[in-house]
């Protein structure tokens, strides 16, 4: 007997921690076994950032019932992952923070679940927080269900109150909470077993693909009808409805964090299998004699695009091992096979590719993953994807939520207003915290996060979700300052940087190698300025032991990958290598740049 559920929530509301608690209490781990926190976040970037990027499968046993659980990303940039896995399950645990309440991604993931008519269980997590506001959050959730036009059956949802960190759950706040059993009882009672005819012809939709070093490419999905067996001859139906034959190799099911080899799996089980090396997400694995196609997976279209190109800087090839357009093309198209919300298009130049995704984070995770694999590339500033409707230019609009200290309300409203943001709601969260909601063009979000953190001294929190396409809102002014550009190639000196420091804010330190056209700082004025950061002080006969020591440099501004993508202008590029991030002008030579300047406009 099975129950298949997905845990959905806004980022950082405790999904992965909740699964940890369920795994620990179900006896998956030995008593003396050392287990890391957030054990489901196995991808390096997930551990570093504390977010889930890739959907993961696990399973726990509760009595004679096997509960298959899928941990999904909470960030809308990885919505393609959410949309895929919801096709495998029959119910969802909607996890909501007892203080923060419903957030943009809560709305996003719940809307996807309701569209598929999945039974929800609402889990109010972190009820042990001193600042929790449980009754208000429950009201928020109910309002969200009504706002998303949930039917009466889905509105009648059970509520479980949990502290995932403590490993406790209860359906009654007045009763003491001791373990996660009340949550498991609620799952078994309210989530229906997966439907399907176990004696019918096989049907399985491919929801994910993986690569295993021992068995090769693997397909993952839920058996919708019939049974699947190792060694079985099957028909694979592509997106175009055309069938091809294949043979299942090894067959696996999930038990805890392990994949267990089995000979057969019945209808309702979530499985992984090898043998079909050309399998793609959204294809149907069916019975050889009676192949019937399941509805393919559809995901929301990308809203942001950028160009990836071969690194042609003077320092190209110094760090990376994958440098050519052939390497770049193969890696991007391989990514598109499993990253279903990514689009890759070739351009007129064999060295340039246009990559479209769901947001800045979606694309920056791809870039960071590739640089860790040894790739070098150059990328452009992210741009939104416009549409034309009845002769009118339409642009993507996002719902933006910002939680800030109350005394910062005026300055943040001014900043968002300058980016064509329109305030739609203001809510007091108590403790001098306020939540502002805006409708804002997607292009207005580029660079906003770092500006928000700067103005609120790190106390501002923002999140956003795609709403719809609306008529173009008018021009938004980009970066106000020009940049300091290296005048020549060489090694930055203390003397040269000290001279340049008077003109703005530096991005580099002495000893860093630079090339002509590389961006080394931000100018204090609107225009770009060439500076010679490599020049050395002329030697004289007069010696001074204190002259060099008196030169003091301010702390240089360091960029993360996302900050660098937000910062660059339309006539600039970001050079990405395994060891370095370098900001540069598209055209490195000063005279060539002046001739080309009219081709670029500030976005």
Q: How confident is the model at residue 550 (pLDDT cuts 50, 70, 90)?
A: low
CATH code that applies to domain 203-287:
2.40.30.10
Q: Between 183 and 301, name the one with better pLDDT.
A: 183
User: Model pTM?
Assistant: 0.71
The separation between CA 497 and the C-alpha centre of its own chain, rounded to angstroms, equals: 37
Residue-by-residue DSSP string for 134-196: HHHHHHHHHHHHHHTT--HHHHS--EEEEETTTTEEES-TTSPP-SSHHHHHHHHHHSPPPP-
Whether the pLDDT of residue 541 is over 60: the answer is no
The alpha carbon torsion through 22, 24, 27, 33 (nearest 10 deg) reads: 160
Q: Does 16 belong to an annotated binding site?
A: yes
Question: Tokens 């996002």 identify what position?
Answer: 398
Q: How confident is the model at residue 176 (pLDDT cuts 50, 70, 90)?
A: confident
187-229 confidence digits (pLDDT tens): 999 999 988 889 999 999 988 777 777 787 788 889 999 999 9
Q: How confident is the model at residue 580 (pLDDT cuts 50, 70, 90)?
A: very high
Picking from 38-47, 183-192, 225-234, which range would have the lowest pLDDT averaged per residue?
Answer: 38-47
Share of the chain above pLDDT 90, in %: 32
Q: Does 128 belong to an annotated binding site?
A: yes
Q: Does the fold of domain 203-287 match that of domain 2-190?
A: no
* Predicted local confidence at residue 13, as pLDDT: 63
* Predicted local confidence at residue 508, as pLDDT: 92
- 440 strand-pairing partners: 398
| Mean pLDDT, residues 470-493 taken together | 87
Q: Between 61 and 26, name the one with better pLDDT.
A: 61
The alpha carbon torsion through 268, 273, 277, 283 (nearest 10 deg) reads: 10
Q: Does 209 belong to an annotated binding site?
A: no
Whether the pLDDT of residue 231 is over 50: the answer is yes
Q: Between 209 and 64, name the one with better pLDDT.
A: 64
Q: Between 144 and 14, name the one with better pLDDT.
A: 144
331-340 confidence digits (pLDDT tens): 999 888 777 6
What are 303's two structure tokens? 């809203």
Whether the pLDDT of residue 301 is over 90: the answer is no
Q: Which CATH class is domain 387-471?
A: alpha beta
What are 374's two structure tokens? 């040894």
The domain defined by 2-190 folds into: Rossmann fold (3.40.50)
Distance CA 492, CA 197 (A): 71
Whether the pLDDT of residue 311 is over 90: the answer is yes
Domain locations in the chain?
A: 2-190, 203-287, 387-471, 483-599
437-480 confidence digits (pLDDT tens): 999 998 888 778 777 877 887 778 787 777 889 999 988 877 77
Whether the pLDDT of residue 380 is over 70: the answer is yes
Distance CA 70, CA 72 (A): 6
350-364 confidence digits (pLDDT tens): 999 999 987 777 788
* Predicted local confidence at residue 78, as pLDDT: 47
Picking from 86-95, 419-428, 534-543, which range would have the lowest pLDDT averaged per residue?
Answer: 534-543
CB crowding 19-56: b at 16 or more within 10 Å, else e: bbbbbbbbebbeeeeeeeebbbbebeebeebebbbbbb
SS3 (DSSP) at 321: coil
Q: Tell me the CATH architecture of domain 483-599.
A: Beta Barrel (2.40)
| Mean pLDDT, residues 347-352 taken together | 93
Q: How confident is the model at residue 544 (pLDDT cuts 50, 70, 90)?
A: low
21-30 confidence digits (pLDDT tens): 888 776 654 4
| Contact criterion met (CB below 8 Å) for 271 and 253 | yes
Distance CA 376, CA 313 (A): 10
Q: Between 574 and 100, name the one with better pLDDT.
A: 574
Picking from 257-271, 448-462, 481-495, which range would have the lowest pLDDT averaged per residue?
Answer: 448-462
Q: How confident is the model at residue 41 (pLDDT cuts 50, 70, 90)?
A: very low
Whether the pLDDT of residue 376 is over 60: the answer is yes
Q: Does 12 belong to an annotated binding site?
A: yes
């Amino acid at each position: 007997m099975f129950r298949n559920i997905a845990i959905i929530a806004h980022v950082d509301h405790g999904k992965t921690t909740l699964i940890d608690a369920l795994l620990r209490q179900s006896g998956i781990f030995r008593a003396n076994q050392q287990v890391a926190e957030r054990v489901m976040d196995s991808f390096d970037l997930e551990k570093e950032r504390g977010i889930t990027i890739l959907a993961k499968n696990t399973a726990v046993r509760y009595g004679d019932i096997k509960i298959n659980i899928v941990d999904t990303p909470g960030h809308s940039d990885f919505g393609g992952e959410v949309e895929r896995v919801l096709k495998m399950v029959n119910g969802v645990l909607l996890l909501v923070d007892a203080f923060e309440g419903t957030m943009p991604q809560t709305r996003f993931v719940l809307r996807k679940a309701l569209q598929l008519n999945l039974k929800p269980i609402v889990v109010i997590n972190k009820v042990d927080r001193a600042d929790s506001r449980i009754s208000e959050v429950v009201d928020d959730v109910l309002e969200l269900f009504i706002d998303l036009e949930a039917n009466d059956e889905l509105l009648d949802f059970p509520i479980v109150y949990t502290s995932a960190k403590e490993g406790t759950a209860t359906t009654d706040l007045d009763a003491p909470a001791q373990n996660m059993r009340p949550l498991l009882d609620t799952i078994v009672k309210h989530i229906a077993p997966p439907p399907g005819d176990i004696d019918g012809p096989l049907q399985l939709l491919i929801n994910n693909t993986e690569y295993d070093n021992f068995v090769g490419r693997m397909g993952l999905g839920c058996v919708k009808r019939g049974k699947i067996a190792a060694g079985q001859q099957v028909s694979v139906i592509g997106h175009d409805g055309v069938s091809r034959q294949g043979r299942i190799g090894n067959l696996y099911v999930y038990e805890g964090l392990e994949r267990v080899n089995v000979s057969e799996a019945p209808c309702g089980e979530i499985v992984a299998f090898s043998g079909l090396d050309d399998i793609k997400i959204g294809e149907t694995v069916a019975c050889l004699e009676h192949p019937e196609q399941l509805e393919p997976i559809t995901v929301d279209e990308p809203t942001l695009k950028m160009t990836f190109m071969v690194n042609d800087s003077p320092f190209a090839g110094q760090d990376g091992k994958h440098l050519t357009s052939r390497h770049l093309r193969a890696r991007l198209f391989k990514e598109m096979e499993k990253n279903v919300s990514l689009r890759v298009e070739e351009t007129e130049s064999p060295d340039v590719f246009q990559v479209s995704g769901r947001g800045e984070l979606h694309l920056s995770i791809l870039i960071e993953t590739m640089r860790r694999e040894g790739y070098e590339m150059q990328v452009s500033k992210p741009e939104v994807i416009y549409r034309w409707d009845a002769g009118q230019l339409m642009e993507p609009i996002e719902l933006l939520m910002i939680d800030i200290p109350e005394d910062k309300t005026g300055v943040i409203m001014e900043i968002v207003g300058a980016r064509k943001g329109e305030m739609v709601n203001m809510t007091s969260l108590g403790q001098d915290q306020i939540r502002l909601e805006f409708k804002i063009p997607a292009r207005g979000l580029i660079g906003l996060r770092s500006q928000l953190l700067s103005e609120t001294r790190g106390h501002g929190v923002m999140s956003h979700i795609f709403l719809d396409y609306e008529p173009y809102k008018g021009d938004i002014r980009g970066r106000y300052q020009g940049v300091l550009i290296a005048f020549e190639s060489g090694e930055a000196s203390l003397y040269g940087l000290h001279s340049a420091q008077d003109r703005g804010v530096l991005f580099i330190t002495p000893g860093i190698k630079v090339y002509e056209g590389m961006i080394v700082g931000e100018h204090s004025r609107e225009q770009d300025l060439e500076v010679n950061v490599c020049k050395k002080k002329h030697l004289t006969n007069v010696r001074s032991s204190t002259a060099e020591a008196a030169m003091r440099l301010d702390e240089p501004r360091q960029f993360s990958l996302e900050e660098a993508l937000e910062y660059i202008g339309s006539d600039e590029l970001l050079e990405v290598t395994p060891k370095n991030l370098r900001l540069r002008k598209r055209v490195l030579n000063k005279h060539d740049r002046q001739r080309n300047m009219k081709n670029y406009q500030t976005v």
